[in-house]
Structure 1
Amino acid sequence: MEINLDNIALYKSVICMILGDKKSEIIEFIIDNLDDDKRFKYTIKELCATLNISKPTAIDTINLLTQKRVIKKIKNGLYQLSI
């Protein structure tokens, strides 16, 4: 399948429907803020303040991504994208 803007919008809509708006927003934020080494450098507290989300939602999302091996926790506030 060819990737285009319509497909991306469709994927985002499906993810929102499955996970909910806030978790989808967190995932998109993580992807948008990866460094050149595919690392994400935000603590839970920083993530909550930046996105105006609850701590349980942030923790649930990070735990989900960790359990599914999408990200790996290096240390508090530092995660490595695994895919």
Structure 2
Amino acid sequence: MNGVVMMKIVALIAAAGKGKRMNTRISKPFIPIFGKPILAYTIEKFEKCKLIDKIYLAVSPEEKELCRKNIILKYNISKVKD
């Protein structure tokens, strides 16, 4: 080895906002803009970043499956880990 240390970089995205002040039934991260949830735009930016190895999402437990189906699978996200 040449003495170079390769660091793993992990992104943590906090996305558990409820949007109570917005008076909406949809949690803020899942509000669509141009047909796509706000959270999907954020995740895609980290997904495309070559420096990021893994992405962890802090979402509410009741929205974890919703996030997986409507964002992770739908937009072919591979760096998000449990």
Which TM bucket (shorter chain)?
Answer: 0.3 to 0.5
Give the strand-richer structure, 1 or 2.
2
Give the helix-richer structure, 1 or 2.
1
What TM-score, normalized to structure 2? 0.37
Q: Which has the higher contact order (CA 8 A, sep 6+)?
A: 2
